[in-house]
Every structure is written in C-alpha cells, then in structure tokens.
Amino acid sequence: MAETVPFNFYLVFEAKESRHVSGRWEACGAPRATVRKPAVNFREVAVKMNVDLPASLFSRPALNFKLSVPEPEQQVVIDAETQQGIADIIAEQIGVRVVVSAGDAE
C-alpha cells in the first residue's frame, strides 16, 4: 500500500433557521476547521474528520534536463506547431504544463 499522510481535525458547520420557511435550516457561511475538539453553540455541529492523503500529493517532481545541440550547418527554425507538439508531449507524459519557445539566434 502506498504511503499516506494522516490528517485529523474537526469541521464546524453553522446553520440558522430560515426566515422564509419555518422549520427549515440554512447554512451560515463556510465551515471552519480546527485541530482540537471545538466548543460549539446551539447552531453549530462539529464533525470529526480523519483523512489519509497519498504522500505523493506533496512531492513535486524534480526535473533534470540536459540538451546538447551540435552547431547546425544552416539556421534551424522551430515553428509554432512543433513548439506546441513538444509542450503537449511533456504535459501528457509527466503532467506538467510547459511553454516551449525558440528565441532569436544570437
């Protein structure tokens, strides 16, 4: 089984009684999170959460790239379609968005 990172916390939800429909409750804003068991009022409820996330979500790929290009006999031109093709292949293979461009020759 893959390594996971455990997260244990409480989500606190608050609701208020609807002013339009008697007996109906509506959410009040966004839930808040806390690590310790919270004190709640009569309009709040705390839900204990135990979440295990894959450790791989927290690692960024270390990309190393070396390119050796021999001096060309003639000027090389990389058109826009080729540049996009290179970017698409990299994105498809490793899931990273890249922008490929060929600068002016010096």
Quote the pLDDT of residue 102: 63
82 within domain boundaries: no
Q: What pLDDT sits at residue 31? A: 92
For each of the chain's 106 residues, which pLDDT tens digit applies? 679 999 999 999 999 887 777 778 888 888 999 999 999 999 999 999 999 999 888 887 776 777 777 777 777 677 778 888 888 888 887 777 777 666 655 5
> Which residues have a Cβ under 8 Å from the Cβ of 26 and sit 6 or more positions away?
15, 16, 17, 18
Question: Is residue 20 situated within a structural domain?
Answer: yes
* Residue 44 falls inside a structural domain: yes
Q: Which domain holds residue 48?
A: 4-57
Give the amino acid at 65: F
CA–CA dist 19, 80 (Å, integer):
59
Within-domain flag for 105 = no
75 HSE (CA, 13 A, CB side): 7
Burial class for 100, CB neighbours closer than 10 Å (0-12, 13-18, 19+): middle
> How many structural domains comprise the chain?
1
Residue 81 confidence (pLDDT): 83
In a domain, residue 62? The reply is no
